[in-house]
């Protein structure tokens, strides 16, 4: 999500910076020392291969004894049967439409408000619609496809019928209200009316919707028995180490075993056993905390936790849902300590500890409760990407925490992968097996091209003895993963968004979308560039100067010895986002051309069928020139490029030398823009049918920058999509799923 307009929502929730731990400054000093040392070693390290071979791996092995690794079974690699990226690149454009290459067709199939059963009325799109718990939610985001056979059973081979599990992250808001959802734009002062709040709550969460192809045309199936909504009010089980923990006791669940709903669902994942994973991202902003709550909590350690997760005392909530009345379903959004109990069973002081997880659900079975997998840690989750599973080895799940200066994580299961589990009949029980027990790691990235995965556990003395927060046990570490990562000196990144694993070689790609808080001469709230976040520059958008790393980059990691369970890795930067004309020495380090340039990578997913790496943007920096986009890429491998030293000029006349590793520069054959979206939209959510011939993606928040004051005048909406593409009544813009097909019946991206 990106750039709400004003008042309470004047800060992009993605951009909240809650990390004031000192570890990055230490890292920066260390990295600067390392980079000087590398320079002193002379020009020997001009080739990245030399770095990785001579410095990176040997440095790792001395710090970190290599585990004994079973011989990996190679994962089947997608084999292109046709020339990939043969389409003509789509030019940058500000047109209010979805633009795809010649020879392709994009069609809208599932938009905000579409009914999910036969009794919910058709969507009028005039602000009078209700019953959103039986309609498509808002702000479609991450999404996965689950095949259905002709007789309605789960299959991985169907390419003409299936279920889409769709995240509904948030809503287009201005002054508190989701204004496109209300006839008059909604009430913009507190208290918020019950009817408005009930609608706004229900448009969040997840939907499961059946889609079906008839002839060449896809449509969603309104009356499918598989259709399902999960909202912030749906009962969800807490699972893993934090289940039953004192930090999760609430009035609603004194046994700390369940919570209500999932919120701000952003990236997704698909497990090797066919379940759906959804990441809870900017949930913190939905809670209000009283101005005197520190005193009410009498100095207990929850204050440090709340601060680290973005809720200082006096913090206002994004929509004021707590103000709609005394009913418990509204009261829960106020996390002030109000009750007299010692354990929190008479109020919602611990309610926020129930949000911030990877949530697993079975898309095929709506009788089964979703489960929050607490072992994977609590933070602002994006996607959850599994390493390529190898029989007899532990499973790795890669994840990021999307806020400025947050971290990259990995979970490694205790259980080793059994091939029979790929077709397990009880998918949630299989999730219990792999996702409730294991080790959680955070990434520390070194300037020499190496890195370590550091386990977050009480056995780590830095965690057990951390002075800023006294950890009690592994449940406490999972719930307060950010604090544990601070304690071990993890590397602060430029906002980790999605990650994905290359099916061809197991390398892990992370979108680092942007960071306005990098500076060569940093203030106390900023960070100096470091090797894996090496840029700090000024980009002009009209007359406004955007500083830091406005265009983002894509980090790439290769596991060391041990495969999924490795505790060391090597890395480089696959691509740097930039404008094609930008300075090639400091900004356009990947030498992007006009057919390739992009800003703020966010969604990122490898196709398991073609092997193409799809890159999607959620940008506010380059939107004076182009709407957000999706690109197709055929990347190489970690270390295929070269080491580059950026000599940033400092204010005092000196230079800050930062070594980084730039992946091999793309060519016209290996990176090409495939799609540009409507005005104000983010391009997100990507999945395909197994034949690779139908691709589903999401268009999130078209018309986002419309002023609430202009609601009565559709001509002033910044976007009228998808009604201007012939989908549905009314001119209010709607988030929607589209399907892309190739007119000659070929695979997408060929």
Stretch that binds Ca ion, among 105-113, 208-216, 237-245, 491-499 (CB under 5 A): 491-499
- CB nearer to ligand FEO: pick between 261 and 685: 685
E-strand stretches of 234-292 = 235-239, 258-260, 265-270, 276-280
Closest CA to 508 of 419, 396, 591: 396
- CB nearer to ligand FEO: pick between 446 and 511: 511
- CB nearer to ligand FEO: pick between 141 and 421: 141
- Lay out the site mask for ligand FEO across 161-180 (x = CB under 6 A, - = otherwise): --------x-----------
Residue 518 tokens read as 């990098």
Count other C-beta atoms under 10 Å from residue 40's C-beta.
Answer: 7
User: What distance lies between CA 284 and its chain's CA centroid?
Assistant: 15
**Residue 539 binding: pick among ligand FEO, Ca ion, none (C-beta 5-8 Å cut-off by kind):** Ca ion
- CB nearer to Ca ion: pick between 324 and 358: 358
CB 382 to ligand FEO: min, Å: 6
- CB nearer to ligand FEO: pick between 402 and 530: 402
**Residue 212 binding: pick among ligand FEO, Ca ion, none (C-beta 5-8 Å cut-off by kind):** none
Quick check: 704 binds Ca ion (CB under 5 A)?
A: no
> Would you say 518 and 526 are in contact if contact means Cβ atoms under 8 Å apart?
yes
- CB nearer to ligand FEO: pick between 90 and 266: 266
Closest CA to 64 of 346, 444, 334: 444
- CB nearer to ligand FEO: pick between 694 and 735: 735
**Residue 17 binding: pick among ligand FEO, Ca ion, none (C-beta 5-8 Å cut-off by kind):** none
- Lay out the site mask for ligand FEO across 575-614 (x = CB under 6 A, - = otherwise): ---------------------------x------------
Q: How far is residue 670's CA from residue 612's CA, in Å, rounded to a whole number? A: 9
Stretch that binds Ca ion, among 35-43, 160-168, 533-541, 661-669 (CB under 5 A): 533-541
CB 169 to ligand FEO: min, Å: 5
- CB nearer to ligand FEO: pick between 34 and 499: 499
Quick check: 619 binds ligand FEO (CB under 6 A)?
A: no
Exposure of 104 in the CB half-sphere (CA atoms within 13 A) = 24
CB 538 to ligand FEO: min, Å: 24
- CB nearer to ligand FEO: pick between 274 and 601: 601
CB 604 to Ca ion: min, Å: 10
- CB nearer to ligand FEO: pick between 115 and 137: 137
Quick check: 602 binds Ca ion (CB under 5 A)?
A: yes
Q: How far is residue 105's CA from residue 628's CA, in Å, rounded to a whole number? A: 18
Task: Tell me which of 280, 351, 401, 618 binds Ca ion, using CB under 5 A.
Answer: 618
**Residue 281 binding: pick among Ca ion, ligand FEO, none (C-beta 5-8 Å cut-off by kind):** ligand FEO
- Lay out the site mask for Ca ion across 264-303 (x = CB under 5 A, - = otherwise): --x-------------------------------------
CB 204 to ligand FEO: min, Å: 12
Closest CA to 79 of 712, 692, 724, 699: 692
The pair phi, psi for residue 136, each rounded to 5°, is -60, 135
Q: How far is residue 676's CA from residue 599's CA, in Å, rounded to a whole number? A: 13
Residue 583 tokens read as 């300075």
Closest CA to 124 of 182, 188, 194, 198: 182
Total of chain residues touching Ca ion, rule CB under 5 A: 6
**Residue 554 binding: pick among ligand FEO, Ca ion, none (C-beta 5-8 Å cut-off by kind):** none
Quick check: 198 binds ligand FEO (CB under 6 A)?
A: no
- Lay out the site mask for ligand FEO across 539-568 (x = CB under 6 A, - = otherwise): ------------------------------
Q: How far is residue 718's CA from residue 706's CA, in Å, rounded to a whole number? A: 5
Count other C-beta atoms under 10 Å from residue 538's C-beta.
Answer: 10
Name the one residue in this structure whose structure tokens are 């929050």: 372
CB 497 to ligand FEO: min, Å: 5
Residue 721 tokens read as 């999509």
> Would you say 492 and 527 are in contact if contact means Cβ atoms under 8 Å apart?
yes
- CB nearer to Ca ion: pick between 368 and 541: 541
Inter-CA distances, 544 with 529, 538, 540, Å: 22, 10, 6
Count other C-beta atoms under 10 Å from residue 76's C-beta.
Answer: 10
- CB nearer to ligand FEO: pick between 14 and 114: 14
Stretch that binds Ca ion, among 35-43, 99-107, 459-467, 615-623 (CB under 5 A): 615-623
Task: Tell me which of 497, 507, 530, 539 binds ligand FEO, using CB under 6 A.
Answer: 497
- The long-range contacts involving 432-436, CB below 8 angstroms and separated by at least 24 positions, are 432/239, 432/371, 434/271, 434/273, 434/395, 435/239, 435/240, 435/271, 435/358, 435/360, 435/373, 435/375, 435/376, 435/397, 435/411, 436/239, 436/240, 436/241, 436/373, 436/375
User: What distance lies between CA 52 and its chain's CA centroid?
Assistant: 29
- CB nearer to ligand FEO: pick between 173 and 497: 497
- CB nearer to ligand FEO: pick between 175 and 701: 701
- CB nearer to ligand FEO: pick between 280 and 294: 280
Task: Tell me which of 24, 96, 133, 281 binds ligand FEO, using CB under 6 A.
Answer: 281
Stretch that binds Ca ion, among 454-462, 474-482, 587-595, 602-610 (CB under 5 A): 602-610
E-strand stretches of 180-299 = 205-214, 217-220, 228-230, 235-239, 258-260, 265-270, 276-280
Residue 587 tokens read as 């900004």
Residue 654 tokens read as 């000196």
Residue nearest to Ca ion (CB): 618
Torsion of CA 646, 647, 650, 656, to 10 degrees: 80
Query: DSSP code of 338?
Result: -
The CA-based angle 292-297-303, given to 5 degrees, is 90
Q: Which residues contact 149 (CB under 8 A, 6 or more apart)?
A: 155, 158, 161
- Is the sign of the CA dihedral 365, 366, 368, 374 positive or negative? positive
User: Site residues for Ca ion, window 493-522 (CB under 5 A)?
Assistant: 497
- Lay out the site mask for ligand FEO across 12-31 (x = CB under 6 A, - = otherwise): --x-----------------
**Residue 507 binding: pick among Ca ion, ligand FEO, none (C-beta 5-8 Å cut-off by kind):** none
User: Site residues for ligand FEO, window 374-433 (CB under 6 A)?
Assistant: 382, 402
> Would you say 434 and 384 are in contact if contact means Cβ atoms under 8 Å apart?
no
Quick check: 704 binds ligand FEO (CB under 6 A)?
A: no
User: Site residues for ligand FEO, window 635-694 (CB under 6 A)?
Assistant: none
Paired sense of beta strands 736-742 and 544-548, if any: unpaired
Closest CA to 403 of 432, 437, 367, 378: 378
Task: Tell me which of 197, 201, 266, 512 binds ligand FEO, using CB under 6 A.
Answer: 266
Q: Return residues touching ligand FEO (CB under 6 A).
A: 1, 14, 169, 266, 281, 382, 402, 497, 602
Q: Return residues touching Ca ion (CB under 5 A).
A: 266, 497, 539, 541, 602, 618
């Amino acid at each position: 999500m990106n750039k709400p307009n004003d008042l309470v929502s004047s800060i992009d929730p993605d951009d909240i910076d809650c990390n004031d731990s000192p570890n990055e400054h230490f890292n920066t000093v260390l990295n600067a020392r390392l980079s000087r040392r590398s320079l002193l070693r002379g020009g020997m390290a001009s080739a990245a291969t030399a770095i990785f071979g001579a410095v990176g791996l040997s440095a790792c092995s001395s710090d970190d004894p290599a585990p004994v690794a079973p011989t990996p079974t190679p994962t089947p690699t997608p084999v292109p049967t046709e020339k990939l990226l043969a389409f003509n690149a789509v030019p940058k454009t500000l047109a209010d439409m979805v633009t795809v290459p010649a020879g392709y067709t994009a069609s809208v199939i599932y938009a905000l408000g579409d009914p999910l059963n036969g009794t919910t009325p058709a969507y009028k799109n005039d602000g009078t619609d209700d019953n959103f718990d039986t309609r498509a939610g808002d702000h479609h985001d991450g999404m996965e496809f689950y095949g259905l056979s002709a007789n309605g059973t789960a299959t991985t081979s169907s390419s003409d019928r299936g279920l889409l599990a769709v995240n509904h992250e948030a809503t287009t808001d201005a002054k508190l209200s989701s204004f496109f959802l209300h006839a008059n734009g909604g009430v913009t002062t507190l208290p918020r009316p019950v009817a408005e709040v009930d609608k706004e709550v229900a448009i969040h969460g997840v939907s499961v919707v059946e889609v079906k192809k008839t002839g060449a045309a896809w449509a969603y199936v309104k009356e499918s028995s598989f259709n399902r909504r999960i909202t912030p009010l749906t009962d969800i089980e807490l699972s893993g180490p934090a289940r039953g923990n004192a930090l999760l006791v609430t009035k609603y669940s004194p046994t700390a075993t369940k919570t209500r709903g999932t919120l701000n669902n952003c990236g997704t994942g698909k497990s090797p056993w066919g379940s759906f994973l959804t990441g809870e991202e900017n949930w913190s902003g939905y809670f209000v905390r009283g101005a005197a709550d520190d005193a009410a909590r009498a100095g207990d350690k929850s204050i440090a936790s709340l601060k680290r997760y973005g809720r200082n005392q006096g913090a206002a909530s994004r929509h004021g849902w707590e103000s709609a009345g005394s009913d418990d379903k509204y009261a829960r959004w106020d996390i002030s300590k109000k009750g007299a109990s010692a354990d929190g069973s008479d109020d919602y002081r611990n309610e926020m500890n129930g949000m911030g997880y990877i949530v697993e659900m079975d898309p095929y079975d709506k009788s089964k409760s979703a489960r929050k997998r607490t072992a994977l840690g609590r933070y602002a989750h994006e996607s959850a990407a599994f390493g390529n599973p190898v029989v007899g080895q532990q499973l790795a799940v890669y994840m990021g925490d999307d806020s400025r200066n947050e971290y990259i994580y990995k979970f490694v299961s205790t259980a080793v992968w059994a091939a029979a589990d790929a077709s397990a009949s009880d998918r949630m029980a299989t999730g219990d097996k792999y996702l409730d027990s294991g080790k959680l790691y955070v990434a520390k990235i070194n300037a020499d091209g190496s890195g370590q995965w550091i386990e977050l556990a009480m056995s780590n003395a830095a965690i057990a003895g951390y002075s800023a927060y006294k950890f009690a046990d592994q449940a406490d570490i999972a719930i307060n993963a950010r604090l544990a990562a601070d304690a071990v000196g993890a590397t602060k990144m430029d906002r980790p968004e999605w990650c994905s694993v290359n099916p061809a070689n197991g390398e892990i790609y992370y979108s680092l979308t942007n960071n306005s808080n990098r500076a060569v001469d940093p203030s106390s709230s900023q960070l100096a560039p470091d090797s894996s976040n090496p840029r700090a520059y000024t980009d002009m958008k009209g007359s406004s100067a955007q500083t830091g790393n406005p265009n983002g980059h894509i980090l790439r990691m290769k596991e060391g010895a041990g495969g999924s369970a490795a505790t060391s890795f090597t890395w480089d930067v696959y691509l740097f986002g930039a404008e094609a004309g930008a300075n090639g020495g400091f900004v356009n380090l990947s030498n992007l051309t006009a057919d390739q340039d992009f800003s703020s990578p966010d969604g990122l997913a490898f196709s398991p069928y073609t092997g193409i790496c799809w890159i999607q943007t959620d940008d506010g920096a380059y939107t004076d020139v182009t709407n957000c986009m999706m690109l197709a890429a055929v990347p190489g491998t970690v270390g295929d490029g070269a080491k580059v030293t950026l000599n940033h000029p400092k204010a005092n006349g000196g230079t800050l030398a930062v070594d980084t590793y730039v992946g091999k520069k793309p060519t016209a054959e290996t990176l090409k823009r495939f799609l540009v979206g409507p005005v104000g939209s983010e391009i997100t959510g990507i999945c395909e049918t197994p034949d690779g011939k139908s691709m589903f993606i999401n268009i999130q928040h078209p018309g986002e920058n419309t002023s609430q004051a202009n609601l009565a005048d559709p001509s002033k909406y910044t976007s009228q999509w998808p009604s201007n593409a012939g989908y549905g009544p009314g001119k209010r813009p709607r988030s929607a799923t589209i399907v892309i097909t190739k007119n000659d019946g070929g695979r997408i991206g060929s």
